[in-house]
Structure 1
Amino acid sequence: MDTLHACETWDPERIRDHQLAALRDQLARVYGSSRYYRRQWDEIGWHPADLRDLDDLAALPITTKADYQRAIDDRPPYGDFLAVPRESVARLHFSSGTTGAPTPVAWTAADLDRWADLYARAAHSQGVRPGDVYQCLFSYAWFVGGLGATLGYTRLGATVIPGGSGDTDRQLETIFRYGTTAVGGTPSFLLHLAARADSLGRPLRESAVRHVMVGGEPGGGVPATRAMIESAWGARCHDGYGCLEFQPVAWECAERAGGHLAEDFVHAEVLDQHTRQPVPDGRPGVLVLTHLDKRATPLVRWWTGDVVVRDRARCECGRTHARLAGGVLGRADDMLVVRGVNVFPSAVENVVRRTAGGLTEFRVVLDPALADPVTGYPTALRVQVESTQDNLSGDLAAALRAELQVRAVVEIVGPGTLPRTTHKARRVVRATEPEVSQRVP
C-alpha cells in the first residue's frame, strides 16, 4: 500500500453516486434478511425501492442503542438485527455492559476483511509502512479495539505485537527491547505509560516509537493532550475514531486536519441533537451512520451520540472524503449546560492539560451543591486535578472562566489520588458515586 487507495480520491459526485448505489443494494439486502428492519419499514409503509436519492434516507427512523438492546432482550442471544445465518458469523465482540447486559455485534468473514482493509488504510495514511513494528496497546479482552488494529497493521505488512492494555512495565520493556516504532491505544493509557517510563528513568521519547494513533477517547482531538502525548513519546500523534458497531469510521492523515470519514464504508449524517434535522457543515451535531456493505449486523441511521463538525473541503493530502474537524467533540449525553453555556469534557481537558502541565489526571464531578435548585443544571464546574502546585487552583479556575465562560471550583488532590483505567477514561462522575463520595480536603 504505497499509494492512496483509489476510492480515497473520488470526486464528491462519484462518492455520492457510489453511496446511492451501495445503499440501494444494502437496504434491499437488509429488508430481506433483518427481521428488525423489515418489521419497522413495513409498519411505516416504506420499501427500499423508495430510495431514489440519499436524502430519502431521512424518511427512515433513527436506530438507537436502546433499540438494539431491546431486540436482544426480545430474542436472545443475537436479537433481530442479525442479518445472516448464525453459522456465517465469524466474530462476535461485545459492549462493556456498564449500562446493562453486554450487547453483541457480529462480523462475517467478508466483514472482517473489510475491517482489516480500513484499518490498514488508516495506518498507511499516518506514515506506517511494511517493516514498522507496531505494538497494539488497545484492550483485547471481549472488546473491539485491539483486534481491529491487529488485523489492519498485519495487512499493511508491519510486525505486530498484540500487547493489550495491561502489564505496564512489560509493555515498556517490550517497546525498548524490540524497537517498537508505532503504537496505538487510548490517550489515558499512553500517558500512563509515559509517566511510568519517566519514573523509571527511561523516557519514551528515547525509544524508537515515531507513530502514535489514539482512539477511544476525545484526547487525540484535544490540542493540549495531543501535545502532551507527542512530548512524552517523542512521536507524531494521530487521532482515530470508531465505535463498536462501526469499525473504524474516520482517521487522521499526515495533515492532521480532522479525521477522514470512510465514505465508501459508511453514509454519514450530522443532525441536531434535539430536532434530529440536518445541520449545515461547520456546525456541531450528532453523527448518524448507515452501513453501506456490512453483512452480519447492518445498521441503518445509527445514532452514535458523538458530537462532530463535518468539513467537506478537500484535504492537502489529496483525499476527498469529508473530515471530522477537531475529531469527536464529545458525547451528546456528556455535554454539560452551565448557566446556558454548553461545555464538553474535552474542552475542560484542553484547559487543564495546558494550564496544569505534566501528565495531569483530572475529572469533572457533578455536585448537587453546585446545581440550580429548580432546573438541576450545574451553576459551576467542580474539577478535581492531581498536582503538587500550590497556586494551581486559582490559576486553573481563572483559565476555565476565561476560555469556557463558566465558573469552576477547582480541587487539588495529591498525585495518584484519582482512579486510573487502562480502557477508556471516565472524565465526568457524580458526587454520589462511592469513588467521589468524600470531599477532598
Structure 2
Amino acid sequence: MSLTVLKGQLKRVHETSAHYRRQWDELGWHPDELRTLDDLQALPVTTKADYQRSLENSPPYGDFLAVPREQVARVHFSSGTTGSPTPVCWTKDDLDRWAELYARAAYSQGVRPGDVYQCLFGFAWFVGGLGGTLGYTKLGATVIPGGSGDTDRQIDTLFRYGTTAVGGTPSFLLHLAARARELGRPLTDSPVRHVMVGGEPGGAVAATRALIEREWGAKCFDGYGCLEFQPIAWECEAQAGGHLVEDFAYAEVLDPITREPVPDGEPGVLVLTHLDKRACPLVRWWTGDIVVLDRSVCACGRTDARLAGGVRGRADDMLVVRGVNVFPSAVENVVRRTVGGLAEFRVVLDPALADPATGYPTALRLQVEAPEAGQLPERLATALRAELQVRAVVDVVAPGSLPRTTHKAQRVVRAPAEREVSPRVP
C-alpha cells in the first residue's frame, strides 16, 4: 500500500462523505496534510456508535454513504442483537472487489476452478453467505449455497455432489460432524479437502482447528472479516496467521486504552481504513478486535502482514480475573484440548465469584458437557490454572444440555440465564 493510494482515497472521501467532510472541516484538517502514514493519527477513530448516530440523524442510510442511493447495489445488515440492525452499502464495483478478494484468498488455500464449494454460512440477514458465494463463483468453483440449516440435507449433499470445499462457522461445522457420526456417515469419508471457517475465533484456536481437521479429514483455514470490511485477513496453505488484504485496507494496531500505536508483535485493537471502497468508505474504523501483527515473510512467499494467532478476542469481551486478561478463545483452546470430543461448553459470569468491591470475577465458572464428571472438573481446573493463571470452577452438565447454534456460538453468558440449565451429571 502506498501513501499515494491512501491520500487519493482520503481526498475522495472528503469530497463524497458528508460525515467525514464535516468532521475534518471542523478539525481544520485536509487530506493534503497527509505527508506520511503517521499523519493519519491526527484523525479520530470511527466507532460503531458514530455510525449508529449517523443512521439516527440521517435515516435510513446515514451520512457515511458516499454515493447516490441509486448507485447502491447491495445492502447488508448487522445481526441486530444489541439494537437496530445496522446497514452497510456496496456499489457494483465494491461487490466486484469483494468477490475478487475472496477468490484470491480461497486460491491461496488451494481451492481451484472445478472444486465444488458448499457455502454453509447463513444467508438470511447475514453477510457471510453471499460473500462466500460471490468469491468462490469468481474463482470458478461449482457453488452450492447451502446456508446454515437443514443439517441432514447438508450432509447428504456433501456426499452426493462431491463437495470438496466448505465454509462456515466452527460451531456449525462441528455440529455437522457430530450429526454425521450419528448417521454413520463420518465426514472423514467425504471428499471435502478444504475447510474455511469464520465468524468465530475457532479457526485460530489451535485445539479447535485440530478438532475440525480430525472430524472432517481436511485442512482447516481461518478467515476473518466483519460487516464493514469484507474480507480483512485469510490464511494461506501455510496456516501461519491470516494475511491482511493490504491493498484493500490500511491497518493500524492501537492500544485499547490510550489509542496510541503499539509495536509490531504486541497486542492491540485493529483499526482499518478503506483504500478503494465507494459506497460506505470508513477511515480509522475501530474494529474492537485484539490482534498481533507479524510482518515477517510467510513460508508461502507472500509479504502482506499477518495476524499472528488470528483474532485473539474482542476488547469488550476480555475478562479480567484477578488482574489476568483472559479471552474466551484462550479458554476454548484449553477446554478442547483437555476435554476432547465434540462437547459444548460455556463461561458463566457468576456474581458469587466476583469481587464485591470491583465487580470483576475472581474465578471463572465453566459449564462443560460430559457423560460423567469423574476427575474432569479437577483436571480442567488444573489445566486452566496452569495455562491461563486463573482459578476455575467447573460444572459438568449432561451431553446435549447446552444450546447449539448454526450461527455464532455464545461462549460467555451471565448467571441469571442459568436458572433453566440442565442439572449436573452425577
TM-score (norm 2): 0.98
Whether the aligned pair in 1 keeps the contact of 2:401 and 2:421 (CA below 8 Å) is no
Alignment correspondent of 1:277: 260
Whether the aligned pair in 2 keeps the contact of 1:411 and 1:440 (CA below 8 Å) is no
Alignment correspondent of 1:254: 237
- Matches of 1:437 and 1:381, distance apart in 2: 20
Whether the aligned pair in 2 keeps the contact of 1:105 and 1:297 (CA below 8 Å) is yes
Alignment partner for residue 164 of structure 2, among 176, 181, 199? 181
In the alignment, does 2:158 pair up with 1:169?
A: no
- Deviation string for 1:73-95 (max 9, x for gaps)? 11110001000000000000000
In the alignment, does 2:128 pair up with 1:145?
A: yes
Using the TM superposition, give the Cα deviation of residue 420 of structure 1 relative to its aligned residue in structure 2, in angstroms: 1.0
Alignment partner for residue 207 of structure 1, among 170, 186, 190? 190
Alignment correspondent of 1:6: none
Opposite residue 161 of structure 2, the aligned amino acid is Y
- Matches of 1:43 and 1:385, distance apart in 2: 53
Opposite residue 109 of structure 1, the aligned amino acid is K
- Matches of 1:65 and 1:380, distance apart in 2: 31
- Deviation string for 1:56-113 (max 9, x for gaps)? 1000011000110010011110001000000000000000111110000000000000
Alignment correspondent of 2:86: 103
- Deviation string for 1:213-244 (max 9, x for gaps)? 00000000000000000000000000000000
Alignment partner for residue 194 of structure 1, among 172, 177, 183? 177
- Matches of 1:217 and 1:301, distance apart in 2: 23
> Partner of 1:295: helix, strand, or coil?
coil
Using the TM superposition, give the Cα deviation of residue 47 of structure 1 relative to its aligned residue in structure 2, in angstroms: 0.7
- Matches of 1:87 and 1:393, distance apart in 2: 59
- Matches of 2:402 and 2:377, distance apart in 1: 16
Residues paired across the two proteins, number: 423
In the alignment, does 2:109 pair up with 1:126?
A: yes
- Matches of 1:243 and 1:230, distance apart in 2: 24
Alignment correspondent of 2:199: 216
C-alpha RMSD of the superposition: 1.0
Using the TM superposition, give the Cα deviation of residue 391 of structure 1 relative to its aligned residue in structure 2, in angstroms: 2.0
Alignment correspondent of 1:58: 41
- Matches of 1:413 and 1:432, distance apart in 2: 17
- Matches of 1:83 and 1:93, distance apart in 2: 16
- Matches of 1:436 and 1:72, distance apart in 2: 37
Using the TM superposition, give the Cα deviation of residue 394 of structure 1 relative to its aligned residue in structure 2, in angstroms: 1.1
Are the structure 2 counterparts of residues 65 and 130 from structure 1 closer, same or farther at C-alpha, using a change threshold of 3 Å? same
Are the structure 2 counterparts of residues 399 and 31 from structure 1 closer, same or farther at C-alpha, using a change threshold of 3 Å? same
TM-score (norm 1): 0.95
Whether the aligned pair in 2 keeps the contact of 1:64 and 1:302 (CA below 8 Å) is yes
- Matches of 1:33 and 1:141, distance apart in 2: 31
Are the structure 2 counterparts of residues 271 and 359 from structure 1 closer, same or farther at C-alpha, using a change threshold of 3 Å? same
Alignment partner for residue 398 of structure 1, among 369, 377, 382? 382
- Deviation string for 1:183-203 (max 9, x for gaps)? 000000000000000011110
4+ aligned runs moved over 6 Å, structure 1: none
- Deviation string for 1:396-438 (max 9, x for gaps)? 11111111110000000111111111111111111123x5565
Whether the aligned pair in 1 keeps the contact of 2:18 and 2:63 (CA below 8 Å) is yes
Identity %, equivalent residues: 78
- Matches of 1:94 and 1:421, distance apart in 2: 20
Using the TM superposition, give the Cα deviation of residue 23 of structure 1 relative to its aligned residue in structure 2, in angstroms: 1.3
- Matches of 1:440 and 1:68, distance apart in 2: 43
